[in-house]
Amino acid sequence: MGKKSRSMRDEGLQRTDNSMDLTSWPQVVAINQKNYYTDYLKRDDQFLAYRLQNEENRSRMAKAAKERDRALAMSKQNELPLPEEEADQDTTMGEVGNEEEEAVAGSKTIVVHVGSQNLRIGLASDALPKTIPMVIAHRSETNESEENGGEPKPKRLKMDDGEMMEPEKMFGPDVSDHPIRDSMRRD
């Protein structure tokens, strides 16, 4: 200890830290210098609290849309369709405006969205259309295990002495002739 700090301690002026803030004002967090020139934490949507609030709002809206769609579907099942007016009758300007207001935008438009993973079908006003996974397949006349008399293809060869074969020769000459890259998936 130095001469000055010893004398301060003797006089009772030694500095002690009680982990109490000097002020009630919030302290500014130091800038992360690695990300200073980027958009890191400069937009609201990058903060966890903001994202959680948005996710909650989105789930609330989806739930409300599902309930609204369910209520519309139930009301359509219970109601009989109204008879349409004949085309030769005259209508006033006020009646034309009411019909347009009654028709919800997109309530009669069917949307088919073909995506790479899902096929979505629904009305344009639906918040959550029906989602069907995309599958490319064809129906086979026979099962794979029943083809060629039930023999596995490629047929595995066994050695007489029981030792392991080289992996390239394990499945016979049909597979060993082809390079490995032919059997790999090409993206």
Return all residues near 128 (Cβ < 8 A) that are at least 6 apart: 62, 65, 66, 69, 122
Q: Is 184 contained in some domain?
A: no
Single-letter residue type at 14: Q
Q: Is the pLDDT of residue 2 over 90?
A: no
pLDDT confidence bin for 147, thresholds 50/70/90: confident
Distance of CA 101 to the CA centre of its chain: 35
CB 125 within 8 A of CB 103: no
Q: Is 59 contained in some domain?
A: no
Q: Is 187 contained in some domain?
A: no
Rounded CA separation 97/100 (Å): 5
CB 65 within 8 A of CB 72: no
CA dihedral (40, 44, 50, 53) positive or negative: negative
Q: Is the pLDDT of residue 142 over 70?
A: yes
CB 163 within 8 A of CB 170: no
pLDDT, one tens digit per residue, over 39-55 is 666 677 677 788 888 88
Cα dihedral value 125, 127, 128, 130, nearest 10:
10
Q: Is 114 contained in some domain?
A: yes
Q: Is 21 contained in some domain?
A: no
Q: Is 133 contained in some domain?
A: yes
Q: Is 49 contained in some domain?
A: no
Q: What is the pTM of this model?
A: 0.27
pLDDT at 29: 79
How many CA atoms lie within 13 Å of 23's alpha carbon, on the beta-carbon side?
4
The helix/strand/coil state of 107 is: coil
| Residue 114, domain extent | 109-137
Single-letter residue type at 43: R
Mean pLDDT on 123-139: 84
Mean pLDDT on 161-180: 66
Q: Is 9 contained in some domain?
A: no
Domains in the chain: how many in total? Answer: 1
